[in-house]
Amino acid sequence: MKSLILGGVRSGKSRYAAELARAQGLPVTLIATAKILDEEMAARIETHRSSRPPDWLVVEEPIRLAAALIAHSSPARMMIVECLTLWLTNLLCGEDSQALARESALLLDVFPRLSGPCVLVSNEVSFGIIPVNALARRFADEAGTLHQQLAALCDYVVLMAAGLPLTVKPPVAPPYGQAGVP
């Protein structure tokens, strides 16, 4: 099953992704896309590290997400990508002006062919006002486009609000094999 979890900051996305992983009952590979750029981001990352189970395999990959997914996909493992909007930021703010187009195309090509379950976590940024600067507008546009493309490829899409999962695209079968769960 391929899933996309969207929501605002502190909406419960990471907690919900962990619940989906527990419901699956498989070992977990977390692909972390964050870069530590300042003390506040370091603190956020440490909060996530301390809350995740110690047996999760963590792969840090801020740019080459599709390659990391290919390398770690397995029917015997659950993958969680945390998070797409940080990955987009890395691509938009990097020195390679072609990276966003190239890496996004690779992700969209690889994602449907992954051999095991995968949960993508991303911030929904389209509920606010239109940003005043060009980079922020481009970021919102790129995130919205990517979310639409990935949602079309996913079996299950959830929007988190106030810690509650709101099903946007229900799966044909119950999520991860348990009725009423996660």
Instruction: Render pLDDT for 32-86 as a digit per residue (tens, 0 to 9).
Output: 998 877 888 788 778 877 778 889 999 999 999 999 999 999 999 999 999 999 9
- Between residues 37 and 8, which one has the greater pLDDT? 8
Query: Does residue 163 carry a pLDDT above 60?
Result: yes
Structural domain count, the chain: 1
What's the CATH code of the domain at 7?
Answer: 3.40.50.300
Res 46: pLDDT: 82
In a domain, 182, yes or no: no
Residue 121: strand, helix, or coil: strand
Task: Mark whether 48 is an active-site residue.
Answer: yes
**What's the farthest any 2 CA atoms get from each other in the chain?**
46
- Interstrand relation of 156-161 and 164-169 (parallel, antiparallel or unpaired): antiparallel
Query: Does residue 179 carry a pLDDT above 50?
Result: no
What are the two backbone dihedrals, phi and then psi, of residue 131, each rounded to the nearest 5 degrees? -60, 155
Enumerate the β-bridge partners of residue 30: 58, 80
Measured N-to-C along each axis, helices 65-72 and 99-110 cross at an angle, to the nearest 10 degrees, of 30
Res 176: pLDDT: 57
The pLDDT tens digits of the residues spanning 145-154 come to: 999 999 999 9
- Asked if 107 contacts 65 with a C-beta cutoff of 8 angstroms, the reply is yes
Res 181: pLDDT: 47
In a domain, 9, yes or no: yes
- What is the domain extent for residue 156? 2-169
The pLDDT tens digits of the residues spanning 91-114 come to: 999 999 999 999 999 999 999 999
Query: Is the N-terminal amide bond of 83 cis, ω within 30° of 0?
Result: yes
In a domain, 176, yes or no: no
In a domain, 180, yes or no: no
Q: How confident is the model at residue 182 (pLDDT cuts 50, 70, 90)?
A: very low
- The catalytic residue among 35, 48, 64, 138 is 48
